[in-house]
Amino acid sequence: MKNTDGTERLGFLIHDAARLLRKRFEVRAAGYGLSAAQWRLLFRLVKEEGMAQARLAELLEIEPISVSRLLDRMEEGGWIERRPSPSDRRVRVVYPTGKARTTFGAVKEVAGTIYQEALDGMSSAERSALLRGLETILANLAEGEPARCEQGPAAKVDERVPEAVEGTNG
């Protein structure tokens, strides 16, 4: 049976939109020395300072070794610092530096501009419907993931960090 509502393109459209958002962000944020992946991490870290590396990996949905490498590059760039946890010396806790806090607002503005460009031509109602639809898709897909089922689908969906435009509307 042929699908006539266009949903067979859903995955391609979401992937392509995310890729183009990331690409545009990479170009515009290049002057700050931040990649889209670093921005996602920095955004999360500025909002919740003093986070363990394992928690960052969980929130960003990437492997701990990948977070470690990302943090290595960010530490070299002066964006973050790692300190031993006061409660468990085996755990390293990550904090944004003064440079990160100072640059955060400007980079957030870059991301916000890209977000607005992406939604150009859409009414407020269409934008709201799009966001609600994407949130529903995330909740639906989260239900089938074992790690997410332990906390329930909404618990993780709310913590997801969207690609480069995270944090532009709040």
Residue 79 tokens, joined? 């964006």
Q: What is the pLDDT of residue 2?
A: 65
For the chain, the straight-line distance linking the first and the last C-alpha, in angstroms and rounded, comes to: 43
* pLDDT top residue among 129 and 161: 129
Helix axes 64-76, 36-47, angle to 10 degrees: 90
**Ordered domains of the chain (ranges, CATH):** 12-157 (1.10.10.10)
In tens, the pLDDT along 13-41 reads 999 999 999 999 999 999 998 888 999 99
* CA 129 from centre of chain: 21
Residue type, 22: R
Question: For residue 170, is pLDDT > 70?
Answer: no
Q: Is the pLDDT of residue 122 over 60?
A: yes
Using 50, 70 and 90 to split pLDDT, how confident is the model at 103? very high
Distance CA 115, CA 168 (A): 7
